[in-house]
Amino acid sequence: MVNVIGLGYIGLPTALMLASHGVEVIGTDYNQELVATLNAGKTTFKEKGLDELFQNALASGVKFTSEYQVTDTYIVSVPTPYDKFSKKVDASFVIDAVKEIMRVCPKGATIVVESTVSPGTIDKYVRPVIETNGFKTGEDINLVHAPERIIPGNMVYELLHNNRTIGADDKTIGNKIKNLYSSFCLGDIVVTDIRTAEMTKVVENTFRAVNIAFANELAKICRHDDMDVYEIINICNMHPRVNILQPGPGVGGHCISVDPWFLVGDYPSITKVINQSMTINDSMPDFVLNRIYEIMQENNINDIDRVGLYGLTYKENVDDMRESPTLQLLESQERHLAPGLKVYDPFITSDVVKNQYHDLDAFLSEIDLVVIMVKHDEIYENSSKLANKIILDCQNIIKSGNVYHI
């Protein structure tokens, strides 16, 4: 039996996928309201294919509780934020989970850490906690790192098809966990050491962050001299060895916007490119806010409450708001100016910010300038409703009308 610890965006789909493929699974989360919702037969976030996977897992006997279980295998999938000052990983949630596991686990149990951590975290924080409590790694408890590699909006497919990495002290234990993941994973699964597995996950997201930063900086250069960044990127990408990404209003989620900071925190003197790239990406919400005021002045819009932000989530067609550029922009606006921007997102049904609307037509009726922060399918399907609006299109999706870009 596998006890999955943490039933959020990664832990829940992992638990459901294992259960749906014949593995006995009990999911554990300290949030009793979340556990009650799952036990009532309801999922806790929206995701393509998740409800069907949930029903399959229920039929296979998956269970949910706030109690840690006595078993031989634990998968820890809890948050790993970073300290905003030091940029180092905050491993406290992982450490707390491991401490709770040690209260109940039998000798020889394996703890699989799925949470993304900086290279060396398990050696620096997890292993000492285990040994301080009288356990010996490799005998009493086996440690494994199996970083997740999925993206909101396509989780179910990617869980099935993405390649995986298993880091373990002992190859025999690594292969045992490989066999566990092979119950559902159709991709290649590589077994390596723990530190290498930690590093590869962080490097993957850092590579993406650096490439996004180049596109964002290019957008700033082109804005400074009134050039069309999108045309320039399209032409450059005709070169067989060039593939520039698209600029945007910022970077959100819990991967690209967070993981590269782990390297900056641990190696501050030698991560110059990474540090600058993250700084550029983090600056984009403020850059968009400046563009809003430029466009307001150009079009004689005097009231900030006649401006609306379309999109609260960090990416299209999901309800995930973690590190959302829109939330970052709103925080910046409230810090420097009187709040007033209106906000709407079809995927966020509860009130999470001031001046939030829950109907597209009502939202559009109250504004003159709409700022497209997220390219949900809804805005494509309703682009005709923007005909009489001034548009700041941060996603380059509106092809006609009074359109501005970042």
Q: Encode the chain in three state secondary structure.
A: CEEEECCCCCHHHHHHHHHHCCCCEEEECCCHHHHHHHHCCCCCCCCCCHHHHHHHHHHCCCEEECCCCCCCEEEECCCCCECCCCCCECCHHHHHHHHHHHHHCCCCEEEEECCCCCCCHHHHHHHHHHHHCCCCECCCEEEEECCCCCCCCCHHHHHHHCCEEEEECCHHHHHHHHHHHCCCCCCCEEEECHHHHHHHHHHHHHHHHHHHHHHHHHHHHHHHCCCCHHHHHHHHCCCCCCCCCCCCCCCCCCCCCCHHHHHHHHCCCCCHHHHHHHHHHHHHHHHHHHHHHHHHHHCCCCCHHHEEEECCCCCCCCCCCCCCHHHHHHHHHHHHCCCCCEEECCCCCCCCCCCEECCHHHHHHCCCEEEECCCCHHHHHCHHHHCCCEEEECCCCCCCCEEEEC
Q: Which residues are catalytic?
A: 201, 255
Together in a domain, 208 and 188: no
pLDDT digits (tens), the chain, 406 positions: 999 999 999 999 999 999 999 999 999 999 999 999 999 999 999 899 999 999 999 999 999 999 999 999 999 999 999 888 888 999 999 999 999 999 999 999 999 999 999 999 999 999 999 999 999 999 999 999 999 988 888 999 999 999 999 999 999 999 999 999 999 999 999 999 999 999 999 999 999 999 999 999 999 999 999 999 999 999 999 999 999 999 999 999 989 999 999 999 999 999 999 999 999 999 999 999 999 999 999 999 999 899 999 999 999 999 999 999 999 999 998 876 666 899 999 999 999 999 999 999 999 999 999 999 999 999 999 999 999 999 999 999 999 999 999 9
CA gap 316, 330 in Å, rounded? 19
Q: What is the pTM of this model?
A: 0.92
Query: What is the CATH classification number for the domain harbouring 16?
Result: 3.40.50.720
Query: Is 290 within the bounds of a domain?
Result: yes
Query: Is 171 within the bounds of a domain?
Result: yes
Together in a domain, 175 and 260: no
Query: Is 299 within the bounds of a domain?
Result: yes
Query: Is 226 within the bounds of a domain?
Result: yes
Together in a domain, 354 and 334: yes
Together in a domain, 186 and 228: no
Query: Is 198 within the bounds of a domain?
Result: no
Together in a domain, 48 and 126: yes
Together in a domain, 11 and 113: yes
Count structural domains, the chain. 2
pLDDT at 338: 60
Together in a domain, 130 and 173: yes
Together in a domain, 248 and 139: no
Together in a domain, 327 and 187: no
Which residue, 160, 192, 224, sits at the end of a domain?
192
CA gap 144, 341 in Å, rounded? 46
Domain region containing 318: 204-405
Together in a domain, 185 and 240: no
- Contact criterion met (CB below 8 Å) for 26 and 1: yes
Which residue, 192, 213, 237, sits at the end of a domain?
192
27: Cβ–Cβ under 8 A, 6 or more apart, which residues? 3, 4, 7, 11, 12, 15, 38, 62, 63, 64, 65
CA gap 247, 284 in Å, rounded? 9
Q: Shortest CA distance to 292 belongs to which of 241, 343, 359?
A: 343
Together in a domain, 321 and 388: yes
User: Residue-wise over 36-71: b if at least 16 C-beta within 10 A, else e?
Assistant: eebeeeebbeebeebeebbeebbebebbbeeebbeb
